[in-house]
Amino acid sequence: MSVSTVQNPVINVAAVSVWKASDAAKDKDAANKAPAVDAKATEPGAPEGVKVSISGQGMSASKADQSPNSDIDNSSLSDSVKQLLKMIREIKKQIAEKMAELAAAMADTSMTPEARLAKVANLQSAVATLQAGMVTAQTQLAKTMKGEPPAAQLEAMSLAMK
């Protein structure tokens, strides 16, 4: 049995060629050295196979190629609900970024205490503004979803949680 492997940081491909009974008869030494082969593989006309396995990195890369909102776009929700869900995700992302900046500013010892306090106050104000925008978007989503069937409401809530 010959095995050739091509490794890539994203995709691992292993191509295995299967010994056929006719190949083993041609080369008796090779037949003695060859590992046991499944009976299906020795049947005439049995297909040879190639096994492809995609690594976790490959799966992550393929998901990264997709739009971050593709699950929202592919949902059966109305366009206004989809827009609100996208807005909520964007606000969540911005809040996370501002919180990271806030933590970095609080830990930054290179600034004077007064400058650090001013920067922290500005970032806290930005976070508060974003949080108010989040509440507004969530309230609007709730109003928009009020007349929708329960399945659509559940789908919207699950998409909003991501």
Beginning with the edge strand found earlier in the chain, give each strand of the sheet holding 50-54 in spatial order.
2-7, 11-17, 50-54
Mean pLDDT across 62-84: 83
Give me the pLDDT at residue 6, please: 44
Q: What is the pLDDT of residues 143-158, one digit of tens each?
A: 999 988 999 999 999 9
**Could you tell me the residue ranges of all domains in the chain?**
2-65, 70-161
Answer yes or no: is pLDDT of 12 > 60.
Answer: no
pTM for the whole structure: 0.58
Answer yes or no: is pLDDT of 21 > 50.
Answer: no
Answer yes or no: is pLDDT of 110 > 60.
Answer: yes
Mean pLDDT across 50-69: 71
Q: SS3 letters for 110-133?
A: CCCHHHHHHHHHHHHHHHHHHHHH
- C-alpha–C-alpha distance, residues 100 and 64, integer Å: 22
